[in-house]
Structures are given as structure tokens and as C-alpha cells.
A and B are shown apart, each in its own frame.
Chain A
Amino acid sequence: MVVNSIRERTIAENSMVVLLQGLQGEVTTVDLRDESSARGLVLNVDAFMNIRLKDVLFLDRRGQTAQLQDLFITGRNVRYVHIPDHVNIMKTMESQLAKIHRVRNFAGGGRKEFGGRKK
């Protein structure tokens, strides 16, 4: 998981995007708002739900397919992200949150980062 800022960590920690971040390394399908879809390996998902995929099969809304080596989808344009059946959603989210807390404790030592809001 690559987290670029404290702000992103807080956003991630307080939203379901942590689940998507836990899909790093999985092959999945992302449906876009305009009815096109992309299936590929998840390289990274940031706190704004921008998704990077690689080795992608892209199906545009006209039904034509294209292969793309690397694809960056803006978070705003994501409609659905398919969670693979074998992924345990709760465990994934718990482990992502644990990673965030580990980073915070390591970097902060005895000092508290703001707690954020628990949903």
C-alpha cells in the first residue's frame, strides 16, 4: 500500500476505500460511470479512489475491446469495483487498517496523530 500523505491515510481510514486498497495484486473488474469497464491487475488505489491497473482488457461502451498495458482511472469515474469472490472483505479491511496504524505508530513514536472519526 502506498500512502502519500497524512490526509490520504485519514480519508482511507474513514471510508470503504481501504477495502479497494486491499485489492492490490488482485485481478478485478472496474465498471466506469460511462458503462465501459476495465479488467486487470490492481496496482494501486489511492484515497481518492483513483485506480491503477495493469495488463488490462478494456471494454468500451460500444462493446469494443482493447488491451492496455497500464491504465489509470480517475476516482470520479468509477461506478463499481468488483470484489473477487475469494477475497475476505472483513479481513482485508482489518489488515489495511492495521497497516495504517503501524505506519502511524512507527513514524509518530509516542506522539498521537489525530484519531480521525470512526464510522
Chain B
Amino acid sequence: MVLVRNLRPPTEGVRHEEANTTAVLSGQQLGCGTLYVAETRLSWFDGSGMGFSLEYPSISLHAISRDVSAYPEEHLYVMVNGKLDLGFLDSSNGDEEEVITEIRFVPRDKASLESMFSAMCECQALHPDPDDEDSDNDFEGEEYNVEEYGHADVPTFYTCDEGLSSLTQEGQATLERLEGMLAQSVAQQYHMAGVRTEETKAEFEDGMEVDAAVAEAGQFEDADVEH
């Protein structure tokens, strides 16, 4: 975790920028400024050069608080591991009781809270714990990269029905394309010299329709993937 003065805001990898955001550090109001949720760090600056930056590994948790009985305004709550004040950061605690710092980012536009929160989630995921003792991250054999084979726009995999509704338009199109390819690849097995076997339709338990006319006949000619 780094606390600095007179540093410029990050310009690259900024997932979310929120102006008119008040920062409250351990209960102390720092004034109004701009929050930068960047991939490398979380920063806030008040426009006069004063501000601070946090490294993601130092952030224990973050949350959206809409409970006005706990704090009068809706805000983004961030719990930082270590003691942070405007002088310097002291995280040299070692084995002592964990010291934490609470920071609240109160945007003027409350509707931005979800984006601010999501951006932080994404950036946190980019910084997994390097000290993780249980990391079985050593791979055996070659890593197969799905993305090399033209499925580059499939960043996430949903395998349950609920996930389908979360697909973006691009994701939906990709899913349809992949399903189409799967249907065709299965259909290929039953297309020999243009003759269609009767068993084709009966084989598919899930009722998936197989289009007899292979729309893209040459699709799999070059493929080195076995179906």
C-alpha cells in the first residue's frame, strides 16, 4: 500500500473514474475529489495534488453500503490492511493484532456505486495473493488455450442455465455460433457422400435440431480439431 502526495492520477488501465467523490479516511473527511479505479492501484486525488493510492493486495474487502442508519450517505466502503494516515503508511505490524483502516468513498452520483464496486472487483481479481501456500498452480503438460482456435471472444464459461441470461449480446452470439458448430459437427458424422442416415434425428436425446443442409460446407476442412 502506498500513500503519496503530488502524484498524478493513473492514466492507463482505468476501469472506472468517478469525479465529485468525497473520501473519508478513518472517519476524517478529506474533501471532494476524483476516484480512479485502475488495474494497478486504487487512487483518489482532490485536484490540488493531494491524494493517496492503494495497492490491491492491501485491500481486505470492499462493499456498497446503502444502510443510512450505519452511515448517513450511500458509499463505497473499503477496508485496508494496515494503518493509513496522511503522513505515511505503517504496515509493519507483523504479528500484532491486525490494524485496519476504513475508507469511504462517497460519490455525488449514487447510481455510480455499482460500477465503482464492479470495477474494484475486476481489479482485485487481477491481483491474486502471491503468498498463497496452497497454490497448486503448477501445470502438468501443455496448456491448451481455447482462445487460439478462433473462440477468442469467449472470456467466460457459464455452464448452468442461470448463466444464459447473463450473457452479453456478444456472448449470446458466440453461444449460438458455438452451438451451431456443435450441431454441425455432429451432423457431419451422418453426412457421408450426401446420404443422410435415418438414425440422425433419433440419436439426439436433447431434441437439438440438426440442420441437414450444411450451411458452411467448407467450415471444417482446414480444422485440425477432431470432432
CB < 8 Å neighbour of B160 from A48, A66, A76, A99:
A99
Q: Can you show 13 pairs from A to B with CB atoms below 8 A apart?
A: A3-B157, A4-B156, A48-B132, A50-B121, A67-B70, A74-B61, A76-B132, A77-B60, A77-B61, A103-B157, A107-B154, A109-B227, A110-B225
Are B125 and A4 interface neighbours, CB within 8 A?
yes
**Chain B residues in the interface with A (C-beta under 8 A):** 57, 59-67, 70-71, 77, 81, 98, 100, 114, 117, 120-121, 124-125, 128-129, 131-132, 134-146, 151, 154-160, 163, 178, 182, 185, 225-227
Are A1 and B159 interface neighbours, CB within 8 A?
yes
Chain A residue with the shortest CB-CB distance to B223: A109
Are A71 and B226 interface neighbours, CB within 8 A?
no
A91 within 8 A of partner (CB): no
When distances are taken between beta carbons in the complex, the residues of chain A under 8 Å from B151 are 107
When distances are taken between beta carbons in the complex, the residues of chain A under 8 Å from B98 are 33-34
Are A52 and B121 interface neighbours, CB within 8 A?
yes
Are B136 and A15 interface neighbours, CB within 8 A?
yes
Chain A residue with the shortest CB-CB distance to B140: A114
When distances are taken between beta carbons in the complex, the residues of chain B under 8 Å from A82 are none
Q: How far is the CB of A75 from chain B (nearest CB, A)?
A: 6
Chain A interface residue number, banded: 35 or more
Are B226 and A111 interface neighbours, CB within 8 A?
yes
User: In the docked arrangement, what's the CA distance between A98 and B93, Å?
Assistant: 43
The 6 closest A-B pairs by CB, nearest first: A110-B226, A67-B67, A114-B141, A68-B63, A71-B63, A66-B70
When distances are taken between beta carbons in the complex, the residues of chain A under 8 Å from B60 are 32-34, 73-74, 76-77
CB < 8 Å neighbour of A115 from B71, B141, B160, B182:
B141
Are A14 and B63 interface neighbours, CB within 8 A?
no
A27 within 8 A of partner (CB): no
When distances are taken between beta carbons in the complex, the residues of chain A under 8 Å from B141 are 114-115
User: In the docked arrangement, what's the CA distance between A46 and B125, Å?
Assistant: 8
Q: How far is the CB of A26 from chain B (nearest CB, A)?
A: 14
Chain A residues numbered 15-49 whose CB sits less than 8 Å from any CB in chain B = 15, 32-34, 38, 46, 48
Are B159 and A102 interface neighbours, CB within 8 A?
yes
A86 within 8 A of partner (CB): no
When distances are taken between beta carbons in the complex, the residues of chain B under 8 Å from A116 are 139-140
Chain B residue with the shortest CB-CB distance to A25: B162
Are B124 and A50 interface neighbours, CB within 8 A?
yes
User: In the docked arrangement, what's the CA distance between A38 and B77, Å?
Assistant: 14
